[in-house]
Structure 1
Amino acid sequence: MAKKVAAATNGEVKMIADVPRTGTLSAAGVTIIENGKFVFNSPDAVKVVERYKDAYAAGAMPPEALNADYLGNSALYKQGKTAWTTASAGFPSELEKEAPTLLENTVSTPRIGHAPLFIQGISVSAKSKAPDLAMKFAQYVTNNTNQIEFLKIAQGFFPGTKEGNENPDSFTSVIEIPLQKTATEQAAAAIGDATPEYPIQFTYDMDKYLQQQVALAVKGDIPVQEALDKAADYANKNLGK
């Protein structure tokens, strides 16, 4: 689609605003980690990155997409530099504040590939002087009633309970932006089949390095296989550090 749009608009409209990372590869069926080792440098992963390389060469990606320092593909969308973005269900509220003219022309669709799951949790130090109290606090924060009440304020997020996710109207009924309500309902419907965007072992530094290497490959500076090999090797060498 991105290549067709670029051709039809003489490169003026671009659809892709990010290089492929673990979430992109996973959504395409690529195994990321196996038996405790990162294996995302497979032939199937090469094929995915090659498609992005072809799209970049066809003018379907802005140069900023190769910059590992930019604020994410949603930033380019709000700037009007791309016509598609991945974003959370709370993105419409960002548009209302930062790019209101885009809000009425934006449509929410289910995620391509598998729905990504971004996990948040509450951790307590093993050296805590009040472990029983900490446990009670965690139970208070994560019980269904308080999760639902919290989401009425933090709209676009989802409860950490099965009961809450099975009754999305309990937390979407207060959403006033129609697009945000639609996006939240779509995401809630997908949670049952969602999988983590990246393995918990995959650190920020690993992701940054992968992004940098893949950007070089998409640009054509290094072979795709070399980029993935270097990223997988870096990730495996830094496991557990």
Structure 2
Amino acid sequence: MKPYRLALNGIALLLCALSASAHADKVRLEFWTDSLKPRFDGYFAQAKKTYEAQHPNVEVVWVDVFNDNFETKLNAAIAAGKPPALVNHDVPRLFKYAQKGTLLPLDAVLGADKAAYLPNTLTDLSFGGKLYGLPWYNNVNVLVINGDLFKKAGLDPNKPIKSLDEELQLAKAIKAKTGVAGLLPQLGQIDGIMLGQGLPLIENGKAVFNSPKHAALIRKFADAYKAGALAKDSLFADDNFQDSVKLYNSGRLAMMETAPTAAQKTQSDARGIYAATVVQPAPLGPTKIVQGGYLFSWAIAKGLPAATQQEAVKFAKFLTSDSQQLAFSKVTGATFPSTRQALNDGYFVKTSAGGGAIERSRIEGAKVAVNIRTLVLTGVPNVGDLKKNLVDNVEAAITGKKDPQKALDDAAAFWNRQLK
């Protein structure tokens, strides 16, 4: 029996060696996301399982990093020469790392697949004529309306609202007739609002947001503020989503121009208001760009081994494919894909009996999703300081502490000193 046992042992050792060798030959593909655990554990587990089944030579490793530590950890990995193969970047961070020269330009590797993505998303991820990320999921604002408050003010909540001017006029009418604030705009993002209204921030290296047209926009907000039409909670904060939802759900705000996720909170926290809620597309400015766009992408590290880079490109295409983007949108329930085919799926088009405001938010958002742009300031030094100075001056103008033209002149002078 001994020779037989020895033979079996030898075969077992050989199989183990072969298995270890096969595992060692696999391409290890580490990809990082930003604060997506634990909600999306199931989605990424399935994506990993599907991709590894299709590519048995690849081992996919998911690492999720909390937002506050993301850049610190990424910088350390890059400095150590061990960057993740793929990284989940928003537009400002993508631009920052493209400037640092740490990302692979993707135009050549994307090839004919480029046609699958919405053109605006490719524009958002292109700097200096080169594409640095594959478009993933996007956000968009919709206009959520308390139909009961509109009717109380003698207004039709189903009448299309087509411009910011109309929103502000309605907000003033609602305040005058019901005593309730009409709108809580995100004035901490005034740079994006200006861009959405076709008003540039910088031209030829100089700040140009102190033109008469820019000042007229600020005066419109100041007039609405003076009339009490604008809610004051976090009016000038960088993000006032939570306050906006809280006010709306308590009947103290008539309109929210906000992300579709707001309707989910209204359904759970204020069923009566949810039943009266009407959803419209957010008004497009003269640029025909809808507010609220914030695109996330997959970027590939420069300097990877050839085999790893090749697989990283394939995996990025997989994660941004029609099927995967659609699957991710269904998990979030409120984000939008950046590929043409996924956006045209019935999930974003067809209504169902009793779908309510959540479904309407998804469908109305999808109607304008081709017009999404991520309207943020990039490509200049000290972006945070520039933006804070502009917002501080705009706040002074809207609250009546400064003349709007003087406030914008002061901000432009500060910007130009910094830009030099």
Q: TM-score range by the shorter chain?
A: 0.7 to 0.9
User: What's 1:118 paired with?
Assistant: 294
- For residues 81-230 of structure 1, the aligned pairs below 5 Å read 81-112=252-283, 113=285, 114-116=289-291, 117-128=293-304, 130-165=308-343, 167-170=344-347, 177-201=355-379, 203=383, 206-230=386-410
Q: CA deviation at 1:230?
A: 3.9
Q: CA deviation at 1:13?
A: 0.8
Q: CA deviation at 1:109?
A: 1.1
> 1:14 and 1:193 mapped to 2: Cα distance?
29
Larger deviation, residues 224-233 vs 209-218: 224-233
User: What's 1:15 paired with?
Assistant: 182
Q: In structure 2, do the counterparts of structure 1 residues 18 and 204 end up closer, same or farther at CA, with 3 Å as the change threshold?
A: farther
Larger deviation, residues 109-118 vs 127-136: 127-136
Larger deviation, residues 150-159 vs 131-140: 131-140
Amino acid of the residue matched to residue 266 of structure 2? L
Q: CA deviation at 1:144?
A: 0.9
TM-score normalised by length of structure 1: 0.81
> 2:412 and 2:245 mapped to 1: Cα distance?
27
> 1:109 and 1:206 mapped to 2: Cα distance?
33
TM-score normalised by length of structure 2: 0.50
Select the residue among 58, 73, 80 that pairs with 2:251: 80
User: What's 2:232 paired with?
Assistant: 63
Larger deviation, residues 125-134 vs 188-197: 125-134
Show CA shifts across 1:23-58 (max 9, x none). Answer: 332343322343454422221111011011111111
> 1:137 and 1:144 mapped to 2: Cα distance?
13
Flag structure 1 segments of 5+ consecutive residues without an equivalent.
none
Show CA shifts across 1:71-122 (max 9, x none). Answer: 3334432343321111122321122233333211211111122313322112
Q: In structure 2, do the counterparts of structure 1 residues 19 and 236 end up closer, same or farther at CA, with 3 Å as the change threshold?
A: farther
Flag structure 2 segments of 5+ consecutive residues without an equivalent.
1-169
- Aligned-residue Cα RMSD (Å) equals 3.0
Rg (Cα) greater in structure = 2
Q: In the comparison of the two structures, how many residue pairs are matched? A: 237
> 2:261 and 2:235 mapped to 1: Cα distance?
25
Q: CA deviation at 1:158?
A: 1.0
> Is the Cα–Cα contact under 8 Å of residues 172 and 181 in structure 1 kept in the other structure?
no
Show CA shifts across 1:213-239 (max 9, x none). Answer: 211111111221233234445556666
Q: In structure 2, do the counterparts of structure 1 residues 27 and 70 end up closer, same or farther at CA, with 3 Å as the change threshold?
A: closer
Q: CA deviation at 1:170?
A: 4.2
**Which has the larger share of strand?**
2
Q: In structure 2, do the counterparts of structure 1 residues 128 and 70 end up closer, same or farther at CA, with 3 Å as the change threshold?
A: same
Q: In structure 2, do the counterparts of structure 1 residues 49 and 238 end up closer, same or farther at CA, with 3 Å as the change threshold?
A: same
